[in-house]
Amino acid sequence: MRKIVFDIETKNTFSEVNSTDVTDLDLSLIAIHDSETEEYYSYFQEDLPELWPRLEKADLLIGYNSDHFDIPLLNKYYPGDLTAIKSLDILKEIKKSIGRRIKLDQVAEGTLNIKKSGHGLEAVKWWKDGELDKIKKYCLDDVRITKEVYDFAIENGLLKYKEGSKLSEIKLDTSNWEQISNQAMNHTLPF
């Protein structure tokens, strides 16, 4: 099974575009981990045509808040429909289990005993300041964390999160996470 773990950063914020619609934002960078190569990659907006063939060969897209945020925004740039690829949104699975949303930073701290290296609003500022290496490092760090959180959940059937000094568990049913879908798509690859 070919899995792509991914995260995106934007050039602007909801308040700057005066909207709550994700597709009104502009993508600055997407970072991925490709299970086929076991490598990490990053793509600025102008590099997206290099990304599409990787995504089209994926059996599963994995992200954190990705069904609500990342996929709709990325779909704005894609010539087809990325929702045709099976996706696993870890945040959605957490909410299904405990009835509320938990920040990735809380899950990373509770599950992996690590903290995120920044937050999305900093990435917007870095974009405006031309600090592209900082955006790339931050986004790749988030992909690494998301991949490790996913791997932990698959192996253990649970995640942990920290609220203050309290550590709590989130039981997850991961039994169908890696079932291959029969969906086929090919929008940018030659036939």
Q: What is the pLDDT of residue 121?
A: 82
Residue 33 half-sphere exposure, CB side, CA atoms within 13 Å? 18
Residue that has been written with the tokens 């793509």 in this structure = 43
The domain in which residue 56 lies consists of 3-171
**Residue 7 within any structural domain of the chain:** yes
Is the pTM for the entire model greater than 0.95? no
What tokens were used for 56? 């089209």
**Residue 139 within any structural domain of the chain:** yes
Residue 21 half-sphere exposure, CB side, CA atoms within 13 Å? 6
Q: What is the pLDDT of residue 188?
A: 53
**Count of domains for the chain:** 1
Residue 104 half-sphere exposure, CB side, CA atoms within 13 Å? 23
What's 94's domain CATH number?
3.30.420.10
**Residue 167 within any structural domain of the chain:** yes
DSSP string for residues in 7-70: EEEESS-HHHHT---GGGS-EEEEEEEETTTTEEEEEEGGGHHHHHHHHHT-SEEEESSIIIII
Q: What is the pLDDT of residue 83?
A: 92
**Residue 150 within any structural domain of the chain:** yes
**Residue 186 within any structural domain of the chain:** no
Q: What is the pLDDT of residue 164?
A: 87
pLDDT per residue of the chain (191 residues) written in tens, 0 to 9: 999 999 999 999 999 999 999 999 999 999 999 999 999 999 999 999 999 999 999 999 999 999 999 999 999 999 999 999 999 999 999 999 999 999 999 999 999 999 887 777 888 899 999 999 999 999 999 999 999 999 999 999 999 999 989 999 999 999 999 987 665 555 555 43
**Residue 187 within any structural domain of the chain:** no
Q: What is the pLDDT of residue 187?
A: 56
